[in-house]
C-alpha cells in the first residue's frame, strides 16, 4: 500500500490557507508557535470528529447490547482501521491504543520485559533517547539485573549502523531507538537498524513520537517490531497514542494493566482467560473520542499530501538553517537539514537558552528551551540546553524571518549572569 503521493500530483502546501483549519491560530495570532515537537494544534476535522462522536455515538464500548454502544464500538474499530492503515500495519489488530508514547513504552518495558528479559541479559538504547524511551528500560534493568547498553550518537546527531551493530549480540533481548531525535531533529536509519537487530533475533522498538507528524511512516517497510507515537504531536488530541506491534510478537505479550475488557472469563481461583491483543493490552474504558480524533488527524495529514508536507518541512528547516548561518554567535546543533524532520536546535554563544527563550517570548515567539526531557543527550553534547524550534504545517516563512530577527537582538539576561549552568526542563 503506497500512501505517499508523487511530486507531480501533490500541489505545494500553502500554510496561509492551512492556518484557517486551526481555530486556535486566530485567537493566538500574532504568536509564532514554533513548539510543535511539544504538541501541535488541532485542525477543525479533528475537533469536528470528536464533537460528532460525543454528540452522536457516546457510550461505552464492547459491553452494551444496544445500538448506541455498538455504534461507539464501531467508531473505535473504524479508528483502529484508519490508524493501522495510515502507518502500514497489516491488520488493525496490530494497533493498541495507549495514552501516548510514554504509556506505550512503559507497556512494552513491562510486558516484553517479563517475557524476554532476565538477569545478565542486555537491553540496547541510544544516547539520544527521550526519558520516555530511556527510563522504562532503565527501570527494567534495575528490576531484573539486566544491563543497559547505550549506543553513541555521531557528530551529526545520528546513530551509526556500525555502532549499533557493535552493541548487539545474542544476549541483547530488546533494542529501543528513536526514529527522529526530539532534540536535534536528526533521523536514524531504522530500516538498517531493524535488519541488524533481527540478525540477533532481537526485537526493535521504535520511538516514533517525532516522526509520525513529518513522515509517511510505514512500519512494515521499516521492519520495526514495535512502533510507538503520541496523537497530540501529530495534530490529534492529547491522551491518546499508539503502540503498533507486529502480530507475531504483539499476540504473545502478556497483559499489562488488567481489568475490564481484557478477559474472556474470570473466577476467583482458576487461571484467568485473557482476550487476544490488542484488547488484552487495553484494560478499562478506552479513549474512544481520542482514537476517533487521532484517526481524523492522520487522515488530515494524508489529505494535505505527504509530499507537500515533506517539502514544507524541508523548506522551513533549510531556510532557518541558512538564515542562522548569517547570524553571529548563533549555531545549529547537529545536521537537521540533511534529512529535515521539522526540528532545529540552536544555541546562542554566551547566552543561556532560557534567556533566549524569554527574549523570544517577549517578541511573540514560542519555542522550547532546555534539555527537552533528554538531559543524558545534552550532557553528551556538552550543552546546558538548546533553543528548539519545531515546525508544523501551519508555520510560515515570515515566522522564520521573525525568529531570525529576534535571535539577532538577544542579549544575556539573568540566567546567563546568575545561573549559567542551571537547567531543569
Ligand atoms: N519520545 C519522544 C521522542 C518525544 O519527543 C516525546 C514527547 N516529548 C515522548 C517520547 C513522550 O511523548 P508523550 O509525552 O506524548 O508520551
Assess whether pLDDT exceeds 90 at residue 423. no
Based on the number of CB atoms within 10 Å of its own CB, is 92 exposed (0-12), middle (13-18) or buried (19 or more)?
A: middle
Q: 15-41+305-418 maps to which CATH number? A: 3.90.1150.10
Question: How many A from CA of 10 to the centre of ligand 1?
Answer: 30
Identify the pLDDT of residue 250.
98
Report pLDDT digits (tens) over 318-376.
Answer: 999 999 999 999 999 999 999 999 999 999 999 999 999 999 999 999 999 999 999 99
Lowest-confidence range among 64-68, 224-228, 367-371, 378-382? Answer: 64-68
Residue among 35, 101, 290 whose CB has most ligand 1 atoms within 8 A, to mutate: 101
Tell me how far apart the alpha carbons of residues 176 and 190 are, in angstroms, rounded to a whole number: 11
Question: How many A from CA of 132 to the centre of ligand 1?
Answer: 6
- Give residue 161's pLDDT band: very low, low, confident or very high (50, 70, 90): very high
- Give residue 3's pLDDT band: very low, low, confident or very high (50, 70, 90): very low
Assess whether pLDDT exceeds 60 at residue 293. yes
Identify the pLDDT of residue 1.
28
Identify the pLDDT of residue 425.
67
Identify the pLDDT of residue 324.
97
Identify the pLDDT of residue 259.
94
- Give residue 7's pLDDT band: very low, low, confident or very high (50, 70, 90): very low
Tally of CB atoms within 10 A around 66 = 8
**Chosen CATH of 47-302 out of 3.40.50.2000, 3.40.640.10, 3.40.50.970, 3.40.30.10:** 3.40.640.10
Identify the pLDDT of residue 6.
42
Domain with CATH 3.40.640.10 in the chain: 47-302
Q: Any idea which residues carry the catalytic annotation?
A: 373
**Section 252-259 average pLDDT:** 97
Tell me how far apart the alpha carbons of residues 95 and 281 are, in angstroms, rounded to a whole number: 10
Tell me how far apart the alpha carbons of residues 424 and 397 are, in angstroms, rounded to a whole number: 31
Assess whether pLDDT exceeds 90 at residue 9. no
Using CA positions, which residue lies closest to atom 6 of ligand 1? 209
Question: How many A from CA of 101 to the centre of ligand 1?
Answer: 6
Report pLDDT digits (tens) over 97-109.
Answer: 999 999 999 999 9
Cβ-contact 173, 165 below 8 angstroms = no
Please state the atom number of ligand 1 nearest to the C-alpha of residue 232: 15
Cβ-contact 220, 89 below 8 angstroms = yes
Please tell me the pTM assigned to this model. 0.96
Identify the pLDDT of residue 5.
42
- Give residue 65's pLDDT band: very low, low, confident or very high (50, 70, 90): confident
Question: How many A from CA of 218 to the centre of ligand 1?
Answer: 19
Cβ-contact 229, 96 below 8 angstroms = no
Assess whether pLDDT exceeds 70 at residue 4. no
Q: What is the chain's mean pLDDT, rounded?
A: 95
Tell me how far apart the alpha carbons of residues 76 and 81 are, in angstroms, rounded to a whole number: 9
Distances (CA, A) of 39 to 252, 331, 403, 405: 33, 24, 19, 25
Residue among 40, 98, 102, 294 whose CB has most ligand 1 atoms within 8 A, to mutate: 102
Distances (CA, A) of 147 to 115, 166, 330: 16, 15, 39
**Section 139-146 average pLDDT:** 98
Ranges of beta strands (E only) in 152-267 are 172-178, 204-207, 226-230, 241-245, 263-265
Cβ-contact 340, 314 below 8 angstroms = yes
Residue among 372, 373, 378 whose CB has most ligand 1 atoms within 8 A, to mutate: 373
- Measured in degrees and rounded to the nearest 5, phi and psi for residue 360 equal -65, -40
Give percent above pLDDT 90 in the chain. Answer: 94
Take residue 201 and report the three cell numbers written for it.
533475533
ω into 173 cis (within 30 of 0): no
Domain with CATH 3.90.1150.10 in the chain: 15-41+305-418
Pocket of ligand 1 (CB under 6 A): 37, 100-102, 130, 132-133, 178, 182, 207, 209-210, 230, 373
Amino acid at each position: 500500500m503506497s500512501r505517499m503521493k508523487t511530486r507531480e500530483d501533490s500541489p505545494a502546501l500553502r500554510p496561509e490557507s492551512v492556518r484557517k483549519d486551526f481555530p486556535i491560530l486566530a485567537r493566538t495570532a500574532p504568536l509564532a508557535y514554533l513548539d510543535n515537537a511539544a504538541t501541535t494544534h488541532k485542525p477543525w476535522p479533528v475537533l469536528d470528529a470528536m464533537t460528532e462522536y460525543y454528540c452522536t455515538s457516546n457510550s461505552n464500548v464492547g459491553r452494551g447490547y444496544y445500538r448506541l454502544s455498538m455504534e461507539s464500538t464501531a467508531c473505535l474499530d473504524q479508528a483502529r482501521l484508519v490508524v493501522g492503515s495510515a502507518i502500514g500495519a497489516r491488520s488493525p489488530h496490530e494497533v493498541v491504543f495507549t495514552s501516548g508514547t510514554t504509556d506505550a513504552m512503559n507497556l512494552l518495558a513491562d510486558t516484553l520485559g517479563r517475557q524476554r528479559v532476565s538477569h545478565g541479559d542486555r537491553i540496547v538504547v541510544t544516547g539520544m533517547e527521550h526519558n520516555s524511551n530511556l527510563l522504562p528500560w532503565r527501570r527494567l534493568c534495575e528490576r531484573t539485573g539486566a544491563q543497559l547498553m547505550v549506543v553513541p550518537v555521531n557528530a551529526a546527531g545520528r546513530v551509526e549502523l556500525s555502532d549499533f551493530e557493535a552493541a548487539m549480540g545474542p544476549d541483547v533481548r530488546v533494542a529501543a531507538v528513536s526514529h527522529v531525535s526530539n532534540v536535534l531533529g536528526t533521523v536514524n536509519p531504522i530500516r538498517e537498524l531493524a535488519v541488524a537487530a533481527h540478525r540477533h533475533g532481537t526485537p526493535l522498538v521504535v520511538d516514533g513520537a517525532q516522526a509520525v507528524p513529518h513522515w509517511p511512516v510505514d512500519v512494515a517497510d521499516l521492519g520495526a517490531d514495535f512502533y510507538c507515537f503520541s496523537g497530540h504531536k501529530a495534530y490529534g488530541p492529547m491522551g491518546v497514542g499508539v503502540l503498533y506491534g507486529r502480530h507475531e510478537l504483539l499476540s504473545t505479550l502478556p497483559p499489562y494493566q488488567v481489568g475490564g475488557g481484557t478477559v474472556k472469563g474470570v473466577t476467583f481461583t482458576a487461571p484467568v482467560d485473557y482476550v487476544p491483543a490488542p484488547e488484552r493490552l487495553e484494560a478499562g474504558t478506552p479513549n474512544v473520542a481520542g482514537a476517533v480524533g487521532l484517526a481524523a488527524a492522520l487522515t488530515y495529514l494524508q489529505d494535505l499530501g505527504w509530499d507537500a508536507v515533506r517539502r514544507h518541512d524541508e523548506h522551513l528547516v533549510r531556510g532557518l538553517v541558512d538564515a542562522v548561518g548569517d547570524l553571529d554567535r548563533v549555531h545549529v546543533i547537529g545536521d537537521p537539514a540533511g534529512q529535515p524532520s521539522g526540528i532545529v536546535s540552536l544555541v546562542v554563544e554566551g547566552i543561556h537558552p532560557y534567556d533566549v527563550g524569554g527574549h523570544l517570548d517577549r517578541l511573540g515567539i514560542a519555542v522550547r528551551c532546555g534539555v527537552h526531557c533528554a538531559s543524558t543527550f545534552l550532557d553528551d553534547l556538552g550543552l546546558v540546553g538548546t533553543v528548539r524550534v519545531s515546525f508544523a504545517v501551519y508555520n510560515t516563512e515570515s515566522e522564520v524571518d521573525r525568529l531570525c530577527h529576534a535571535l539577532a537582538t538577544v542579549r544575556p539576561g539573568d540566567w546567563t549572569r546568575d545561573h549559567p549552568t542551571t537547567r531543569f526542563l
